[in-house]
Amino acid sequence: MGQQSAESASSSSSLMTDFLRQAGGGAVIDGGLATELESHGADLNDPLWSAKCLLSSPHLIHRVHLDYLEAGADIIITASYQATIQGFEAKGFPKEKGETMLKKSVEIACEARDTYYERCSESSCDVTGDGKILKHRPILVAASVGSYGAYLADGSEYSGNYGDAITLETLKDFHRRRVQVLVESGPDLIAFETVPNKLEAQAYAELLEEEDIRIPAWFSFNSKDGNNVVSGDSLVECASIAESCKKVVAVGINCTPPRFIHGLILAIKKVTTKPILIYPNSGEFYDATIKEWVQNTGVSDEDFVSYVNNWRKAGASLVGGCCRTTPNTIRAICRTMSNRSPV
């Protein structure tokens, strides 16, 4: 590693360390984006999913980011999970439009943070009568990078099965420009989310080195059995890839039922010294055939939050929610973590 790369890795590592220290030892990640966009009237029945709102209703994305900040989130994740240059091209847009939408996802999140800080400055108290948290604190914007399977929009990010034709080089080429554009847009870090297999984790790690990405990243995997990532690859082996990549400052699990999280934290803890992040879904089952969540298969906010202290004790430093969680979930997590202490 050259001197510049070493310095970059060092500054990346210190960003998360300093952030967690300022947050009191633990931080809150936001919750589900698509669920909230739909609750505000957005129609996401589209291969672009939540990224469709970058085109049609960016004001709704701004509103949801703000809702999560006022619920106590310390990290907001951009609406770029399913935003890919190739995905926009498939809808008939030129490459430049796709790049513009990626930049816009970061801009909207940064603008929401600015709006939030303005509201904090105007407020005379940290918590309003209606429960909104208006406390000036460090807030990070994480640029979301969804998996190749998310772009396919066929549910394969929940199987990790891309077929033999998809190689390490295929995945690096697919993600390369997207990652470059997001980094150039000015987020605080890159969130590689719902990583379904070892091959894609390796592709991300190599991309970060090859492109000498100067901002930190986190890797977040998903599991459907509580032992492995969804492809059947070993979670420990996947987490080891993240551990060995100097650009990665946190590793963990997202979009996974809450009941599996405790054991997965313990598994990751065996192979990493980096902060562990977890942002599970509500526990509901997603039917990829009809592209809908099956009702009444998840846990309530109360049950979800009852796990939080145990996740913290097990070793999680950053806690939030994924699909089907809401600002109410995040508000409850924030309340539970109000007496934060280092893991």
- Annotated binding-site positions: 255, 322-323
**Nearest in space to 82 (alpha carbons), one of 73, 91, 74:** 91
Residue 33 · residue 64 · CB < 8 Å? yes
Residue 200 · residue 148 · CB < 8 Å? yes
The CA-to-CA distance between both ends of the chain, in Å, stands at 31
Q: Which residues, other chains included, contact 333 with Cβ-Cβ below 8 Å and sequence gap of 6+? A: 28, 72, 305, 308, 319, 320, 321
Pairing of strands 285-287, 292-294: antiparallel
Count the Cβ atoms, other than its own, within 10 Å of residue 184: 12
Annotated binding site for Zn(2+): 255, 322-323
3-state class percentages of the chain: helix first, strand second, coil last, to nearest 5: 50, 15, 40
Count the Cβ atoms, other than its own, within 10 Å of residue 2: 8
- SS3 at position 246: coil
**Nearest in space to 323 (alpha carbons), one of 155, 99, 190:** 155
User: Which residues is 190 bridged to in the sheet?
Assistant: 143, 217
Residue 87 · residue 48 · CB < 8 Å? yes
Q: Rounded to an integer, what distance in angstroms lies between the CA atom of residue 238 and that of residue 268?
A: 9
Q: Rounded to an integer, what distance in angstroms lies between the CA atom of residue 91 and that of residue 82?
A: 13
Half-sphere exposure of 333 (CA within 13 A, CB side): 37
